[in-house]
Amino acid sequence: MQFSELVKKYDVPAPRYTSYPTVPYWTDTPTAQEWIESLRRTLTRDKNYSIYVHLPFCETLCSFCGCNTVITRNHNNEGEYLEALEKEWKNYKRLVPELESLLPKQFHLGGGTPTFFSAAHLERLLSNFLPRRGSAATQVEGSVEVDPRHCTREQLEVMYAYGFERISIGVQDLDPQVQRAVNRLQPLEMTQATVDSARSIGYTSVNFDLIYGLPKQTLASIAESMKKTLELRPDRIAFYSFAVVPWMKPAQSSLEKFLPNAEEKRHIFELGRTMLLEAGYVEIGMDHFALPDEALSQAMNSGELHRNFMGYTETKSSVLLGLGASSISESEDCYHQNEKNLADYYRRVAAGEIPTLRGHRLTEQDMQRRQQILDLMTRFETEVTLEQRETVRGLLSELIADQLVDLQEDTLTILPAGRPFLRNACVAFDDRMNAARPRDNLFSKAV
């Protein structure tokens, strides 16, 4: 079957599996005490942990955006938010004393727009968590999401001084018509200036976020955007499918009449992907491409690729501690999400609480399924138990017949041609979702 026919056939709603169970199927929220005990237990076994700090503010709303944001031009918010983050971190250190002396292995600033915060505020934030470059034997792997429309050299220098070497730049699309349609004007020169600044400061890895399926996108426009992107030669490229979820993000409703139809979207994806592969990028699991000598490609080759709420990483850590409003954390047997509402988040951290919104305590079966899905997402192979085998064979019969996956005895393998359909294969292991159909309204389409 032609690639385009396969893309059409497997374009059904499916999760992106940055967690298992996926958030809509979390059922068993841990109490604060259970969550803290789980964190401590996991940290005793594995001292490698990562911190994610969510900085939610953006000055304007990009109408495609599916992230947890607070839109404001009021920069007085910065100080109040920082204070709350500092309180939250103190609360954690009081309850999990191990954190007082353990440096995180990875530290990620995400958003919203982290560079909404001034250089001085970023410095204050980072000094709570990290040593300055050169002052400690081990340096954390720091990374940040950067919006070139709001990013100064000074901000990049401050983060570099705390060990940051990776930036992920929000590009989305370089075509002015598409940019106008999504309320995000960002000339190529602006993106280029951020790349040049970062590289000249010493950042070693530059990622671009691009999205296909945006309003007004055409085959000609994506070809041009991709050509310009490739000229800047980012080390990594995330090529996301536009997740259209207007029931959760009402601003997306105004875009619907300008969207490419399903078939056009699929062709846009195929063209973009082909251009990336022809330019020498390697396809990493889902949505991601990297240059062959880049750490992510090497981790994929050596079987060390990992995936969590932050997406693909080459460093495995058993705890991801998410701080800030709406942040999600993960331990070996729990997920935990913070309050999304700013006022509630502020109030609860000020009262010395862990600001739980919801979470999930994983059962033994959840943990087994989580490992299988993670194996598929990172190593393209997983073990299938005897009891599962016939169910999995049934659920994947079409993918098997189309030679996209191979099920031999106790091993399911994603064949090279099946990599673009990874999430369709993972669905066979998603007992929670499969037990709770219909699912069509919960997730965006796979392609």
Ligand X SMILES: C[S@@+](CC[C@H](N)C(=O)[O-])C[C@H]1O[C@@H](n2cnc3c(N)ncnc32)[C@H](O)[C@@H]1O
* Interface with ligand SF4 (CB under 6 A): 58, 61-62, 65, 67, 69, 111-113, 147, 170
Answer yes or no: are the C-beta atoms of 339 and 103 closer than 8 Å: no
For residue 81, the 8-state DSSP code is H
Helix (H/G/I), strand (E/B), else coil: 441:
coil
Amino acid at 319: V
**Contact residue for ligand X among 147, 330, 366, 375 (CB under 6 A):** 147
User: Whose Cβ is closer to ligand SF4: residue 15's or residue 148's?
Assistant: 148
126 part of the interface to ligand X, by CB under 6 A: no
In the window 313-342, what residues touch ligand X (CB under 6 A)?
A: none
Rounded to the nearest whole angstrom, what is the least distance from the CB of residue 311 to ligand SF4 in the complex? Answer: 15
User: Whose Cβ is closer to ligand X: residue 30's or residue 272's?
Assistant: 272
Rounded to the nearest whole angstrom, what is the least distance from the CB of residue 376 to ligand X in the complex? Answer: 21
242 part of the interface to ligand X, by CB under 6 A: yes
In the window 47-76, what residues touch ligand X (CB under 6 A)?
A: 58, 64-67
Helix (H/G/I), strand (E/B), else coil: 283:
strand
User: Whose Cβ is closer to ligand X: residue 149's or residue 336's?
Assistant: 149
User: Whose Cβ is closer to ligand X: residue 112's or residue 285's?
Assistant: 112
**Alpha-carbon torsion 355, 358, 363, 368, what sign?**
negative
* CA dist., res. 76 & res. 101, Å (int): 32
Partner in contact with 242, chosen from ligand SF4, ligand X, none, beta carbon below 5 to 8 Å by kind: ligand X
User: Whose Cβ is closer to ligand SF4: residue 252's or residue 317's?
Assistant: 252
At residue 143, what are phi and psi to the nearest 5 degrees? -145, 155
* Token duo for residue 199: 């590289």
Rounded to the nearest whole angstrom, what is the least distance from the CB of residue 139 to ligand SF4 in the complex? Answer: 28
Helix/strand/coil percentages in the chain, nearest 5: 45, 20, 35
Answer yes or no: are the C-beta atoms of 271 and 213 closer than 8 Å: no
User: Whose Cβ is closer to ligand SF4: residue 141's or residue 173's?
Assistant: 173
Rounded to the nearest whole angstrom, what is the least distance from the CB of residue 64 to ligand SF4 in the complex? Answer: 7
User: Whose Cβ is closer to ligand X: residue 144's or residue 275's?
Assistant: 144
Distance, first Cα to last Cα, the chain: 17
Q: What angle do CA 118, 234, 69 make, to 5 degrees?
A: 40
Rounded to the nearest whole angstrom, what is the least distance from the CB of residue 11 to ligand SF4 in the complex? Answer: 24
* CA dist., res. 359 & res. 237, Å (int): 31
In the window 182-241, what residues touch ligand X (CB under 6 A)?
A: 209, 211, 240
Rounded to the nearest whole angstrom, what is the least distance from the CB of residue 213 to ligand X in the complex? Answer: 8
173 part of the interface to ligand X, by CB under 6 A: no
Partner in contact with 395, chosen from ligand SF4, ligand X, none, beta carbon below 5 to 8 Å by kind: none
Partner in contact with 56, chosen from ligand X, ligand SF4, none, beta carbon below 5 to 8 Å by kind: none
* CA dist., res. 257 & res. 395, Å (int): 34
Partner in contact with 211, chosen from ligand X, ligand SF4, none, beta carbon below 5 to 8 Å by kind: ligand X
Any residues with CB less than 8 A from the CB of 215 and at least 6 apart, and which? Answer: 64, 178, 181, 182, 255, 258, 259
In the window 102-121, what residues touch ligand X (CB under 6 A)?
A: 110-113
Partner in contact with 193, chosen from ligand X, ligand SF4, none, beta carbon below 5 to 8 Å by kind: none
Q: How many residues bind ligand X (CB under 6 A)?
A: 18
SS (H, E, C) 298-363: HHHHHCCCEEECCEEECCCCCEEEEECCCCEEECCCEEEEECCCHHHHHHHHHCCCCCEEEEEECC
Binding site for ligand X (CB under 6 A): 58, 64-67, 110-113, 145, 147, 170, 172, 209, 211, 240, 242-243
